[in-house]
Amino acid sequence: MSSKKSTVPVSRTVALCYVRLSLTKTLDDENSPDRQRANCLEYCEFRGWTPEFYEDRDGHKSGTKEINRPGWLALKARVGDPDVVAVVANDLSRFHRKGFRMGQLIELCKEGRLELVKAGEKKSIDVNDITATMWVMMESLFNEYYAEDISRKQKDSIRYRRANGIAVGRVPFGTIRPKRDGRSG
């Protein structure tokens, strides 16, 4: 008798879909995760994939870090599984806003023979095509610059406001606002 194990091929049909809420300024921004999810779902249906969602939508989850994104970390832990066919997000900035991390994701996709998908554009990126990956890396650098630039501007605005005695954030309960030029402060 032969002691060979028979291996049953695993069907690669699971798409790991990622949704991340950025900073919310208005109530209209809160539809962003729903829109991202709908776009991912639509693309997966088009390709015949089974979507598996990982979400970081409770509060601000910066794309410049990973440690603050439990949904993303759970997705990353699943990337190497044999039933996974793709990693999907609405756009590249949902994955990361750091160029080197995007490079790491490209390498993970190459190693696992996975597709990298921008669902909002209905576009699968060939991670084995150097020209395609160069464009991805350029877009990632712009995303990183955007995040850093916005952060710098926000910090400058806060510094200026505080220096001028203007409350930043929630006004403490019971605060009486002074009038400025005849208007409420």
**pLDDT of 58 strictly over 90:** no
Of residues 27 and 51, more confidently modeled: 51
Beta strands (DSSP E) in the chain are 14-20, 50-56, 84-89, 115-118, 123-125, 179-180, 183-184
Q: What is the value of pTM for the model shown?
A: 0.75
pLDDT at 4: 56
| The pLDDT value given to residue 178 | 66
Per-residue CA distances from 164 to 159, 161, 170, 172, 175 (Å): 9, 5, 16, 17, 17
- The pLDDT value recorded for residue 63 is 75
